[in-house]
C-alpha cells in the first residue's frame, strides 16, 4: 500500500517547507520549463513578481494532448501520440486496488504482481525474460495500490516489438512458478515484519486504519504475515483470473506509434479476454462526525502526530483549492511552529490524490498538546487574513510548473491519464487540471480552510499523554460575513 505520508513528504512543492523553499523551487522550475516545455524565455529577472510577463507566459502554457481512445471487447485503451519521442510507455491498470481484497486475502495482489514481474510467462520463461530485458534495455515494473494496481512497460521504440510481446504475454499468461513465489514471498514478509520499525510508517498505517474502519483502505496491499505465509500458486492464479476482466482493466500507451498498428496489437493480445459484469466503485467522501484522537504508546525520543480529514478527490470542485490551501497552511505551520516557536521538529500539511481523498496534518514534537493548539490557531489566522494575490500567483505557478516538469516523461503522462479515468472518473481531467489550478482564488483558499478542516482523526505515536480537549478543532470562522 502506498504510504501517503511518505510520498507527500518527498514532493518538492510548496506542500512542505517555508517561503524560501517555495521561491527556490519556483526559480528552478521556471528555468526548466523554459528549456523543455517550450515556454517563452523570462525577461531580465527570474524572481517571482519581478518578471510578470515571463511568469504569466509560463502559467498560461498548456501542453498538447493528442489523445485517441478505443475499446477492445470491453478493454478501454487510451493512446497519447508523442511524435519523435524514442521512448514508449505502456501501462495496464487493474481497477479496484484494496477493494479487491478481504481481511483474509490482503497481500495476494502484491504477491501476484511481484511474482508475475519476476517469474516470466508462457512464451518468456524466467531466465529468458531476464536476458531479453537486459539485452534491450526494456523495463518492467508492477505495483499494487489502494485504488488500482499496474503492470508497466518502458521501452525504446526500436525494441518495442519485443517489449510488447513480453508485456502482453506476461499480462495474460504469467508462469507463476514455485521458485519466484518463494523469493517474492520472502521479500514481502521482510517488508511486513519491518513495517512498524519506522515511526512514520507505523503512524501512517495506524492513521489509515483509524480513519477508514471497515473500509478497503484499512487493508494493506502488503498484507499480513499470516496471510502471505499461506498463499499458494493456486491462490495467485485464482486472483489473476479475477483481475483479468476487461471491464475492470485500462490500458494506457504513450509513444510515437501508429494508431491502427497499436489497435491491431491490442486486439491480438487481449481481444480474446472474456468481459464479466463489474460494479462501479462509488468514490464518495468518507467522513466522520467529530474530532477524535487515538493514542499509540511507544518509547520514542519524541511524539509523532498525524491527522486525517476528508477533502474532495481529483476532478471534484475544490480539489485544486484544497491543495493550494494545504500548501499555504504547510508553509505557515513551518514558519510559526518550527522556526519561530520551536514547538516541533517537523511539520507539514498536504492533500492526497485518491478516490476516497484526505488531507493530512503531520508533526513531530515533545509537546503535542501545545503544538496542536498552535496549529488550530494558525488555521484560523490564515482563514481570517487570507493570502495576497502575489503569494497566490506564486503558489499556483509552483504547482503548475511542477506538473509540467512531471509530464516530461512518457510514464508520467500515462500515470496522469490513468488517474484521470480511474480516480477522477473523468478522462478530461488530465487536460483540465491545470486550468482548475489557475482558477483558484484567494477566497477559495479561505473557504476551503473553513469548510473542510473539521472532524479530524488524529493518531499520536510516542510517550506523551494527550489531552483530548486540545485535539478538538475549534470552528473556523471567516470574517466579513463569509460563508463557512
The string of pLDDT tens digits covering residues 332-342 is: 999 999 999 99
292, part of any domain: yes
For residues 226 and 357, state if they share a domain.
no
Q: Does position 51 have pLDDT exceeding 70, yes or no?
A: no
Beta bridge partners of 110: none
For residues 321 and 192, state if they share a domain.
no
Q: Does position 137 have pLDDT exceeding 80, yes or no?
A: yes
365, part of any domain: yes
User: At which residue does the C-alpha cell 490482503 appear?
Assistant: 106
Going by the DSSP 8-state scheme, the letter that residue 73 receives in this structure is T
Give the whole-number percent of the chain exceeding pLDDT 90. Answer: 74
Range scoring the smallest mean pLDDT among 128-142, 145-159, 277-291, 363-377: 277-291
For residues 38 and 133, state if they share a domain.
no
d(CA 186, CA 351): 34
Angle made by CA atoms 266, 272, 273, in degrees to the nearest 5: 95
Closest among 206, 204, 434 to 319, alpha carbons compared = 434
350, part of any domain: yes
Sequence-distant (≥ 6) Cβ neighbours of residue 430 within 8 angstroms: 65, 416, 417, 419, 420
Q: What is the pLDDT of residue 247?
A: 95
How far CA 26 is from CA of 13, 160, 167, 293, in Å, comes to 9, 37, 38, 37
Burial level of 22, CB count in 10 A (0-12/13-18/19+)? buried
For residues 36 and 174, state if they share a domain.
no
User: What is the average per-residue pLDDT within 248-258?
Assistant: 97
68, part of any domain: no
Beta bridge partners of 292: 457
The string of pLDDT tens digits covering residues 406-456 is: 888 999 999 999 999 999 999 899 989 999 999 999 999 999 999 999 899
The string of pLDDT tens digits covering residues 202-214 is: 999 999 999 999 8
Q: Does position 265 have pLDDT exceeding 50, yes or no?
A: yes
C-alpha cell at 215: 473500509
Q: What is the pLDDT of residue 53?
A: 47
C-alpha cell at 3: 504510504
For residues 111 and 37, state if they share a domain.
no
For residues 314 and 453, state if they share a domain.
yes
For residues 112 and 160, state if they share a domain.
yes
Q: What is the pLDDT of residue 319?
A: 95
d(CA 187, CA 180): 11
Mean pLDDT of the chain: 86
Q: Count of domains in the chain?
A: 2
Instruction: Give backbone dihedrals phi and psi of 300, rounded to 5 degrees, phi first.
Output: -135, 160
User: What's the pTM value of the predicted model, to 2 decimals?
Assistant: 0.86
Q: Does position 118 have pLDDT exceeding 90, yes or no?
A: yes
276, part of any domain: no
CATH number for the domain spanning 84: value is 3.30.830.10
For residues 357 and 399, state if they share a domain.
yes
Beta bridge partners of 88: 155
d(CA 484, CA 479): 10
For residues 266 and 302, state if they share a domain.
no
> Which range marks the domain in which residue 325 is found?
11-63+283-471
Amino acid at each position: 500500500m502506498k504510504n501517503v505520508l511518505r510520498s507527500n513528504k518527498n514532493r518538492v512543492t510548496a506542500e512542505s517547507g517555508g517561503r524560501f523553499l517555495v521561491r527556490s523551487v519556483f526559480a528552478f522550475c521556471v528555468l526548466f520549463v523554459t528549456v523543455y516545455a517550450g515556454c517563452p524565455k523570462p525577461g531580465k529577472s527570474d524572481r517571482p513578481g519581478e518578471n510578470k510577463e515571463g511568469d504569466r507566459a509560463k502559467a498560461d502554457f498548456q501542453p498538447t494532448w493528442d489523445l485517441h481512445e478505443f475499446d477492445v471487447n470491453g478493454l478501454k485503451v487510451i493512446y497519447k501520440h508523442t511524435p519523435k519521442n524514442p521512448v514508449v510507455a505502456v501501462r495496464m491498470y487493474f481497477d479496484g486496488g484494496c477493494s479487491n481484497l478481504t481481511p483474509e486475502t490482503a497481500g495476494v495482489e502484491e504477491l501476484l504482481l511481484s511474482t508475475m514481474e519476476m517469474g516470466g510467462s508462457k512464451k518468456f520463461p524466467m531466465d529468458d525474460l531476464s536476458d531479453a530485458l537486459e539485452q534491450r534495455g526494456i523495463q518492467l515494473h508492477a505495483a499494487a495500490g489502494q485504488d488500482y494496481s499496474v503492470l508497466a512497460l518502458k521501452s525504446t521504440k526500436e525494441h518495442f516489438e519485443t517489449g510488447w510481446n513480453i508485456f502482453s504475454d506476461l499480462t495474460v499468461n504469467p508462469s507463476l512458478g514455485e521458485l519466484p513465489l518463494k523469493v517474492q514471498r520472502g521479500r514481502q514478509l521482510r517488508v511486513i515484519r519491518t513495517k512498524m520499525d519506522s515511526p512514520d510508517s507505523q503512524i501512517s498505517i495506524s492513521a489509515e486504519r483509524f480513519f477508514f474502519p471497515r473500509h478497503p483502505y484499512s487493508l494493506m496491499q502488503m498484507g499480513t504475515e499470516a496471510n502471505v505465509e499461506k498463499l499458494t500458486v493456486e491462490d495467485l492464479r485464482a486472483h489473476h483470473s479475477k483481475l483479468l476482466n476487461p471491464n475492470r482493466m485500462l490500458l494506457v500507451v504513450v509513444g510515437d506509434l501508429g494508431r491502427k498498428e497499436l489497435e491491431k496489437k491490442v486486439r491480438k493480445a487481449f481481444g480474446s479476454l472474456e468481459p464479466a459484469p463489474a460494479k462501479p466503485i462509488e468514490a464518495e467522501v468518507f467522513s466522520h462526525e467529530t474530532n477524535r484522537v487515538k493514542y499509540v504508546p511507544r518509547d520514542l525520543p519524541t511524539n509523532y502526530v498525524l491527522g486525517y480529514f476528508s477533502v474532495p478527490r481529483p476532478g471534484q470542485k475544490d480539489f485544486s483549492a484544497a491543495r493550494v490551501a494545504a500548501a499555504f497552511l504547510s508553509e505557515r505551520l513551518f514558519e510559526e511552529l518550527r522556526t519561530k516557536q520551536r514547538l516541533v521538529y517537523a511539520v507539514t500539511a498536504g492533500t492526497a490524490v485518491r478516490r476516497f481523498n484526505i488531507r493530512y496534518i503531520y508533526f513531530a514534537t515533545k509537546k503535542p498538546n501545545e503544538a496542536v493548539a498552535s496549529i488550530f490557531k494558525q488555521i484560523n489566522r490564515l482563514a481570517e487574513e487570507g493570502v495576497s494575490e502575489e503569494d497566490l500567483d506564486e503558489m499556483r505557478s509552483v504547482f503548475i510548473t511542477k506538473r509540467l516538469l512531471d509530464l516530461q516523461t512518457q510514464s508520467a503522462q500515462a500515470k496522469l491519464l490513468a488517474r484521470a479515468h480511474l480516480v477522477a472518473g473523468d478522462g478530461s481531467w488530465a487536460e483540465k487540471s491545470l486550468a482548475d489550478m489557475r482558477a483558484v482564488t484567494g477566497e477559495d483558499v479561505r473557504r476551503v480552510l473553513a469548510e473542510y478542516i473539521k472532524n479530524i482523526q488524529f493518531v499520536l505515536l510516542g510517550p506523551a499523554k494527550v489531552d483530548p480537549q486540545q485535539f478538538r478543532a475549534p470552528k473556523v470562522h471567516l470574517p466579513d460575513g463569509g460563508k463557512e
